[in-house]
Structure 1
Amino acid sequence: MAENSTHKARDQDAVEAEASAWLVRLEGEDFTDEDQAALDAWFQQSPDHERVFRDVAETWNIMALAVVDAHFGAQKSTPLAGGHATSLLGRLKDAFRKRWFTPAFATGFAALALVAVVSVLFEPGGRPAMPYGQHAVQQFVTAVGRQSLETLEDGSRIRLNTDTKLSAQISEQSRTVELIKGEAMFTVARDVSKPFIIKAGNHEVRVLGTVFSVQKRPEGITVRVQSGRVAVSSEEGEGVDSVILTEGQQVLANDDSGMGAAQTLDVEQAFAWTNGLLIFDGTALPDALAEIDRYYFRDIQLQCDQAQSKKLSGVFRIDGLDEALEVILADASLQMDTHVKGKLLLQCPIDPEG
C-alpha cells in the first residue's frame, strides 16, 4: 500500500547509517587491514554503497570544515567545498581531532551528519559557496513514525509529520520552503514585505500569516487551512491555475488533472496528527489503513476483498498503532500475517470448511 519510493527512502537511510559508521571507523586509530577488507567487501555488495559513502563523506567534509573554521580561526570567506576544500581525512585528522575529536565525539559527529536539521550552503549549480551562516538552506527530515517541531529565523514554525523532508531559506527578500516529500503544518509569522512561499513540485502555496498544512502525495499536493488565507497555484502547461483557501478549507492540486475545487474540511480531524492522534469517522477501511501505513514500520496491505467496503471510526494514538490494528482485525474479522519481511498482510479468515 505504501509507495515503493517510501521503501527506497528507508533503504537509503539504512545505507547512509552504515556509511557513517564506516567513516567513523576509518577515522579511528585502530583501523586495520581486516577492517579495510571488510569495507571493500561492503562496497562490493552494491554499487550504491560507494556512491552513498562518497556523498556522506562530502557532507561531513562541509560540516567539519565549518566547525574547524569556527574553532581554528579560518576566514569566513574560505570556501567550504570544491577544489579549495581540504579533505575530511586530511585537515580534520591533523587539526580537528588533535584538539577534541575523541571517539565519543566521533560517534556524535556521525549522528550530526544524519541529524534532521543540516545547514548546507548551495549555489544554483549545487556547489557550496556562500560563507557559513549567511542565509543557509536548512534541511529538515523526519523518519517514518516520527514528528518534529522546527522554528525558522523569522519566527515561523514548521511541524513535520511522518516521513517528511523539506528545505527552508529565509533572506531579506524572501521566505521559501520546498516540500520534497511528506506533510508539514506551518504557523507563519506575519510579514507583509516577505510572503511565505511553499513549493512542492509544480505547485506553490503563498501566504502572509496563517496556520495551514501541505501534504505532498504521488499525484499532487493537498493544502489544508486551519486559520487565515492562502493562495495555492499550479503550473498548467503555459499558464497558472490558482485558488484562494480560507479557514476550514482544503484543496487537492493534481499533477495531471490540475487544481480541484475548494472543499470544506473537518479541522479537528485534519490536524489531529499535530497532537499525536489519528481520527477516523466512517472512513473507508482502505483509506484508513493507508493513513496508518504512513506512520507504521511495516508496509500494511489489505488482502481481503470482502473488507474493502468496511468503515472505520475511532481515535487512535500515533504511538500506539498496534492497538488500532487490533481493533481493525476484530471489527473487520481479519487475520494478520507477518511472515513476509517488512510487510503486514491483513487477510480474510481461513474457512475451516474450505
Structure 2
Amino acid sequence: MNSQQERQLLDESAHWAARLASPECTAEERKAFESWRSRSPAHARAWTMVDRVEQGFNQLATDNAELLAMADAAFADSAAPRRDYRRWLPMALAASVAAVGMFVTAVTVLRPSAGVSMYASADAADGRRSLTLDDGSTIELDVNSAIEVEMTAAERRVVLLRGRALFQVAHDSARPFSVVAGAGRTVALGTRFQVDHHNDSVAVTLTEGSVSVTGLGNLDGQAELLQPGEQLSYAVEPRAWSKQVVDVQAVTGWERGRLVFHGTPLSEALAEVNRYVDRPIRLDDQSLAVLPVSGNFIAGDSDLVVSALLQTLPISADERGGEILLRSRSN
C-alpha cells in the first residue's frame, strides 16, 4: 500500500471516529463502520492507529490552548452536549478538517519503529498455528484467525482481526500486554486467557491469573475484571456486555483438537464443528436448533460428529452438494 492510500484510510478512520462519537450516530452507521473496519487488515490497522492517537489526544488536548480552540470550533457545529465536553473532546478534534491532518501527522510520528507484524492461520482442520513472541509469551491461533502484533519498549499490543486465539502471557510489569478485539481491550500482565472474535461478537475467557476488559467506542465506559473460569461477552450491535462462569476446559478444548459440549444447543454446536470441517453440517429443519448436545468430539471429522449425533438425537442425515443436512427423524 502506498502512502496516499494509507493516508486515505487514516482520513476515513478519523471521520469514522468523529461520527461514532456523535449522539446522532445510527445503528446502521455503526454496522457500516464494522463492515468498513473488517474489510481488510489495512482498514483494521488504520483504525487501530487512530485509536492510539485518540488516546494521546485524551492526555494532550486539555492542556493545549490551540487544540482547545479547535475543539470549541468543532463543538460550535456539533450536537454533543456541553456537559460531556471532556469525553467528546478528542472526537470533536477529529471532526474538524485541520484535526484530521493532525491525526495523520500524529500517526506518522507515533508509528512504532519496531513495526507491526501480522500472522494468520489457514482455514482447515490442521490450520492452527503456534507463535512465540520475543518476550516469551505464546499465542495459539485457531483456524481462520488473524492477528497483528506490536512490541515496543512501553507495551505489548495484539489486535485480533478475526478468529480465536489463546494467550499465555509472560510477566513484564513494565510492558502491559493488551489484546484489542472488536469494541474492547483486554489487558494482562502475566496470565492465560482466550479471545474469540466472531462476526461482530467477542468473548474473553480467563483460565489463569486475572485480566481487565474495557469497552471502546460505543462500549466506552464499560469495564470488567475477570477471575479464572469467567467469560465476558460483548458486542456493539446489538449492544451487549455480560459476564458468566464457564467450563474453561470445554471452551479451550479446540487447542487439544477436541470440541466439548455440555447441553449446548445444536445450532451453536454445529457452528463450532463447522470451523474445522471440509463438509459443513447444516440444519434442514430449524426446529432442531435447540436440541441439547453433550459430548467430546474430534475437531475436523464430519462423519464421526454426525454418527454421534444420530445415536443421541432424534435426527436423520443426508449428504447434498458437499454438505451434510440434518432433519427430524420423523421426516
Alignment TM class, shorter chain as reference: 0.5 to 0.7
The match for 1:345 among 306, 325, 330 is 325
Q: Residues of 1 paired with 2:285 and 2:162: CA distance?
A: 30
Q: Unpaired runs of 5+ in structure 1?
A: 1-54, 56-123
Q: For residues 179 and 305 of structure 1, do their structure 2 counterparts lie closer, same or farther at Cα, with a shift above 3 Å needed? A: closer
Aligned to 1:312: 293
2:197 is the counterpart of 1:216: yes
Amino acid at match of 1:143: A
Q: Residues of 2 paired with 1:296 and 1:233: CA distance?
A: 34
Amino acid at match of 2:327: Q
Does the CA-based 8 Å contact 1:214-1:223 persist in structure 2?
A: yes
| Count of residue pairs brought into register by the alignment | 228
Provide TM-score, normalisation by structure 2: 0.62
Q: Unpaired runs of 5+ in structure 2?
A: 1-41, 43-103
Aligned to 1:157: 138
Q: Residues of 1 paired with 2:289 and 2:239: CA distance?
A: 28
**Greater shift after overlay, 134-143 or 260-269?**
134-143
Q: For residues 134 and 315 of structure 1, do their structure 2 counterparts lie closer, same or farther at Cα, with a shift above 3 Å needed? A: same
Does the CA-based 8 Å contact 1:186-1:213 persist in structure 2?
A: yes
After superposition, residues 331-342 of structure 1 pair within 5 angstroms as 331-341=312-322
Aligned to 2:216: 235
The structure that is helix-richer by fraction is 2
Aligned to 2:249: 268
Aligned to 1:143: 122
Q: Residues of 2 paired with 1:302 and 1:238: CA distance?
A: 34
Aligned to 2:206: 225
Percent of aligned positions with the same letter in both sequences? 27
The match for 2:307 among 326, 329, 332 is 326
Q: Residues of 2 paired with 1:338 and 1:200: CA distance?
A: 36
Describe the superposition over 1:202-231 as per-residue Cα deviations: whole angstroms up to 9, x where unpaired: 211111111000000223210000011111
Aligned to 1:112: none
Deviation of the 1:293 alpha carbon: 1.1
Does the CA-based 8 Å contact 1:241-1:258 persist in structure 2?
A: no
Q: Residues of 2 paired with 1:236 and 1:140: CA distance?
A: 25
Amino acid at match of 2:305: A
2:166 is the counterpart of 1:185: yes
After superposition, residues 1-354 of structure 1 pair within 5 angstroms as 135-144=114-123, 145=125, 146-237=127-218, 239-341=220-322, 343-349=323-329, 351=331
Q: Secondary structure at the match of 1:328?
A: helix
Q: Residues of 2 paired with 1:286 and 1:238: CA distance?
A: 28
User: Over alpha carbons, which structure has the higher Rg?
Assistant: 1
**Greater shift after overlay, 180-189 or 140-149?**
140-149
Provide TM-score, normalisation by structure 1: 0.58
Q: Secondary structure at the match of 1:286?
A: helix
Deviation of the 1:321 alpha carbon: 4.0
Q: Residues of 2 paired with 1:309 and 1:271: CA distance?
A: 23
Superposed CA RMSD in Å reads 3.1
Does the CA-based 8 Å contact 1:231-1:242 persist in structure 2?
A: yes
Deviation of the 1:261 alpha carbon: 3.0
